[in-house]
Every structure is written in C-alpha cells, then in structure tokens.
Amino acid sequence: MNTFVKDGISVASMIDTRKPNSRGEYPVKIRVNFQSKRAYYSTGISMTKSDWENLSGNRTVTGKNIRGNIENSFSLVRNNVEALAEKGEFNFDLLNSRLGRATGDTVNNALRAKIDILKSEERIGSMFIHINTLKVLEEFGGKDIPFSAINIAWLKRCEQYWSQTKNQTTIGMYFRNIRAIMNEAKKAGVIKESQYPFGKDRFEIKTGEGHKKALSMEQIKQIFHYSDGRETTDKYRDLWLFVYMCNGINVADIVKLKYSNILDGEICFVRQKTERTAKSRKEIRCVITPQLKAIIDRWGSETNPDNYIFPYLNGNETPLERKTITKELTKRINKRMKEIGNTLGFGHITTYTARHSFATILKRGGANIAYISESLGHSDLKTTEAYLASFEREEREKNALLLTCFD
C-alpha cells in the first residue's frame, strides 16, 4: 500500500501472513529492506488476508481510519530511514534505537531498545532500572507481550502479582517505565487512544507513601560530634554530613565534583540525575560553610582545578565503572552510618536520610519551599513536598497545647 525507496533502502507496509493470531488475523507491519536484510515494525493493526486485499478500496469510515493509522506508522519509519540515509549512516541498529521505544513488535522489544538507548547515552542508572522492569515484566507476562495485551485488566493483574513481593514505590517505578513505552506507542500510532490503558478512569499508578526519614537538628548534632576513634568511621560520617550540608547532594554527584566546581565560595554543580532530562540545566549552588571546608580539607585530594575534590575517580572510567564506584561508596557510607545510628539510638541511617534531613531542617526553620526545591534541584514543588517529613510528635503536641491554654 505504502512504499518508499532511498539509497538502496526500501520501506513498505505489508501484511505478515507467517502466523495468524487467535482470531485468524495477521499483523500489518512496516517492512524495511537493506542489503538483503529486512526488519519488521508493528503498526498495532491486524486483519484477514481478504480485508487487506480490499483495504485500498474500502470507503467506509472504519476503512479510512485503518488506512490512516497504517500511514502514520509508515511515515514514522520512513522519516527515520530518510534521516539516517541522508547522513549516510543507515543501519538497522540505529533505526531500531530511533524507533524501538514505540515500534518494536512487542513491549519486550521496545524496552530492550530503550535499554540500548540509555546505554548509548551513558545513563547507566536508568538503564539498570529498565533492565529490572523488563525482567519482572517477563516474569509476569512472558517473553513476547504485544502492545494490544496491555489493557486495564492486564495491568491490574500485574499489579496484584508484583505486590506479593515488591513495595508500592518499586511497583510504581516499573509501571511508569511501561507507561512511557505505551506513550511512545500511542504517539507512533502503534496503539489507538482507545487502547491506551493509563490515566484517569483507566489504570492509575499508585504513589508509594515513602518513609519520612528526616532527623532532627539535635540528632544531626550528635552525629556531627560522634566518633569511635576509627579513621574510617570519621571519613564516612563526614561524607554523610557532606551530603546533608551540600544541599542533600547525591553520592553520584559528590564523586564527580572537581575543584573547578568551587566558585566564589560556593560549590556549583548540575545533578547527574537530571542533566540529560531537564528542559534546562538547573545549576545548584551550595555555600561552603566552615564545616564543609573542614571536610574537604581533611579528606579531599590536592587542590587543583582539574582534580576531583574527593579521590574516587581518575576521569578514565567508563559510565558503568563510575556507576559501580558510586554504588560501592554509597554502600560503605550507609554501612558505617547504620552502625552510628544504632549506637546513638536513631535506627537505620542512610545517605537518603541526609537528603531528607537537609530539606526538612530548612522547612522547620521557616525556609520557603520554593527555595528548598531549587536547592534540591527539583523541577516542581510537588516533588519537594514529598521529601519533606512531618514535624516531630513533640512539635505537634506543643502546638496542640497552644490551642488549649484556657487558664
């Protein structure tokens, strides 16, 4: 029905009669041929052979809609083929990277293509999250899940299955990844709006409540003065305090800090988590207090603009190696802080606690939430509000007494 040829590459819409579905229909696909190789991309449409043969002459509203959806999928593939051909760099790997988010034959393949894209963009953390999403998705739904299978009932069964072993925050993360794939599929015309299962009055992704793990100022003061006489304990305590005092900075950003990030008495950086995805680069600035300076002086490397502040990277690491170093450092900090927390009677303390505590201490001190949001590098206030822990029970009791001062 639709054909295109450029530089030895051909694109055509066709009906794939190799294997019928349970209704005796065959999938309509977009086929790309190049150097005796071919690849097929789903349109999300299936029909009988006779319907396909009669489609061009079908003047009904349904026929026109089907042709329009096929043409949308064809145009998407054609435009990407043409763009790669004009650059003289066409190959199926690049085409799949461009199309895989939405036009793989299955949701599984679309996720695999997304994983490849994240790897090529060196977004290693997100890559591992999508790898886990694919793993648990296939545990529930199998190795070949068509886009048409992902409906409201399917998602509810999946949620029930995952809830037996996973918490709501993790489940929400998996569903958001699937939703992103389905959004791309809808945009590409692989599924219709009526087939899209997410949203109001459809399947709504539940939000994990999240544990409010912020410490009080008094507790942080005890951590600041704590020492068991071991240098290792002092170092990882100080790195935890660095997270707290440097705007709740993530460990992934700490290891990337260089002395060139210090400008006019402030540490200036862009969060690794958002530097590729945010619409605009949001620079975070943190004033170097005497306490922060003491930590840098004690544990930092030689002062030089090209040197990393803390000696964990040398600059020659691959993204995967950098991710591994970051995870190992985070693990060591958390292990030592767990010991400190248990000794002081605070319970389990992590770098996550330090980030929450930074935001909550500012809130309790009367800081504007917009300022806290900017300091954390959040893109909206709702994200910041989720970080802010409730006031201590003692604070609530004190405020309640203000309402009953009748004498």
Q: What is the pLDDT of residues 235-259, one digit of tens each?
A: 999 999 999 999 889 999 999 999 9
Of 4-8, 69-73, 362-366, the range with the highest mean pLDDT is 4-8
pLDDT confidence tier of residue 192, bands split at 50, 70 and 90: confident
Tell me which range, 68-77, 128-137, 141-150, is most confidently predicted by mean pLDDT.
128-137
pLDDT at position 20 over 60: yes
Long-range contact pairs involving 278-283 (C-beta distance under 8 Å, separation at least 24)? 278/379, 282/374, 282/377, 282/379
Confidence band, pLDDT 50/70/90 cuts, at residue 102: very low
Q: Which CATH architecture has domain 217-397?
A: Orthogonal Bundle (1.10)
Is the pLDDT at 151 greater than 90, yes or no?
A: yes
Mean pLDDT of 148-172: 93
Cα separation, 396 vs 312, whole angstroms: 43
What pTM value is reported for the model? Answer: 0.63
The residue among 177, 130, 113, 123 whose CA lies nearest residue 150 is 177
Tell me the per-residue pLDDT of 164-184, one tens digit each, with 9 for 90 and over. Answer: 999 888 999 999 999 998 887
Mean pLDDT of all residues in 319-346? 94
Confidence of residue 103 (pLDDT cuts 50, 70, 90): very low
Residues 196-237 pLDDT 10s: 999 988 999 987 655 557 888 999 999 999 999 999 999 999
Model pLDDT for residues 267-312, shown as the tens digit of each residue? 998 887 665 554 556 788 899 999 999 999 999 999 999 999 999 9
pLDDT, greater one: 83 or 348? 348
Residue 109 has pLDDT above 60, yes or no: yes
